Amino acid sequence: MFDGELIQLSEEVEAAVREGRAVVALESTVISHGLPRPQNLETARRLEQAVREGRAVPATVAVLGGRLRVGLDGSQLERLAEGEGVRKVSRRDLPLAVARGEDGATTVAGTLWIASRAGLRVFATGGIGGVHRGALPDVSADLPELARTPMTVVCSGAKSVLDLPATREWLETHGVGVVGYGCDEMPAFYTRRSGLPADVRADTPREVARVVRARDRLGLEAALVVTVPVPEGFEVGESVMEESLTEALSVAASRGVSGRELTPFLLAHMSWRSGGATLRANLALLENNARVAADIAVALSEQ
Ligand code: PSU
Ligand code: MN
């Protein structure tokens, strides 16, 4: 049985959950491991601000000193952005970080686990993990966690570094619905299109809220993934995308980068190789997704 004592909600988040107000969970791996300094701390603050501008309460999730935290203050965000000794915490890492009293930045999987137990229903991130390319079936723990957590996850699809068709099939097999928010295709993170269909299109927060309520009434436990394309003007050009991705994948393979290191390595290498184009896209889509998530959380709290 889950020991609720392990989770600590900030006062603001606790009050909002208790009163049924709109709350948006935010992950912290992107702060500690996904973005370079100083953009990481600036982004963490900007995402919280974007959620507030949408009239929802931001709840960044992390592990601090072995305690599961939902809703962080400024100095806690700084501690994560420093990154020193911060573990990347996916589902399997939760007991390790708790047992050792460590600091940990939660992935989509880790955040889903904690946020759902804190009573949160909407979560904004950049891109979910998925099935990696290559012979080894490296499948992110994000996927099985999505299959068993009834959360609404707003993202820009799965990163183009992944095997997108395989990731899309995985979601379908495991009952995770994909909504195209203002689009018919699943976006591919840095680019607006993937050639892979969403299950349904929604153009307003209310339409998304209707699907979420139906899912809940049916008692289905899987997440609903709401995919939002990177804002126009920040999309990464096709040739830049192809070149930086091909190189990142081959450098990762030649250096034997794998496991938890792989995703951060690919993102950093592509940003360097693209002259920052992928980083600019990443920042733009993160902020945009936080805004959309706030709108959906508000629509959900209105009934
Ligand atoms: N997308 C990003 N930046 C990130 C990640 C995703 O733009 O830093 C992180 C998320 O936290 C996601 C994790 O949950 O990468 C997936 O890592 P892995 O493939 O090791 O499960
Ligand atoms: Mn992996």
Tell me the average pLDDT across 153-170.
Answer: 94
Q: Which of 68, 64, 94, 101 is nearest to 79 (CA)?
A: 64
Question: Are residues 143 and 175 in contact, defined by beta-carbon separation less than 8 angstroms?
Answer: no
pLDDT of residue 1: 77
Q: Is the CB of 111 under 6 A from ligand 1?
A: no
Q: Residue ranges of the domains in the chain?
A: 1-120, 121-303
Whole-prediction pTM: 0.96
**CA-CA distance, 54 to 48, in Å (whole number)?**
10
Tell me the average pLDDT across 259-284.
Answer: 94
pLDDT, one tens digit per residue, over 216-248 is 999 999 999 999 999 999 999 989 998 999 999
pLDDT confidence bin for 3, thresholds 50/70/90? confident
Q: Is the CB of 289 under 6 A from ligand 1?
A: no
Give the residue, by CA position, lying nearest to ligand 1 atom 20.
260
**CA-CA distance, 151 to 43, in Å (whole number)?**
23
Q: Is the CB of 93 under 6 A from ligand 1?
A: no
Judge residue 268's burial from the number of C-beta atoms within 10 Å of its C-beta, 0-12 exposed, 13-18 middle, 19 or more buried. Answer: middle
pLDDT of residue 134: 82
pLDDT, one tens digit per residue, over 140-149 is 999 999 999 9
Is residue 261 annotated as a catalytic residue, yes or no? no
Q: Is the CB of 260 under 6 A from ligand 1?
A: yes
- Cα of 89 vs centre of ligand 1, distance in Å, is 10
Please tell us whether the domain made up of 1-120 is placed in CATH 3.40.1790.10: yes
- Cα of 15 vs centre of ligand 2, distance in Å, is 36
Tell me if domain 1-120 and domain 121-303 are identical in fold.
yes
Q: What percent of the chain has pLDDT over 70?
A: 100
Give the residue, by CA position, lying nearest to ligand 1 atom 10.
107
pLDDT of residue 281: 97
- Cα of 17 vs centre of ligand 2, distance in Å, is 32
What's the token pair of residue 18? 């208790």
Ligand nearest to the CA of 109: 1
- CATH class, domain 121-303, is alpha beta
Please report, in angstroms and rounded to a whole number, the separation of the first and last CA atoms in the chain: 31
Is residue 27 annotated as a catalytic residue, yes or no? yes
Q: Is the CB of 43 under 6 A from ligand 1?
A: no
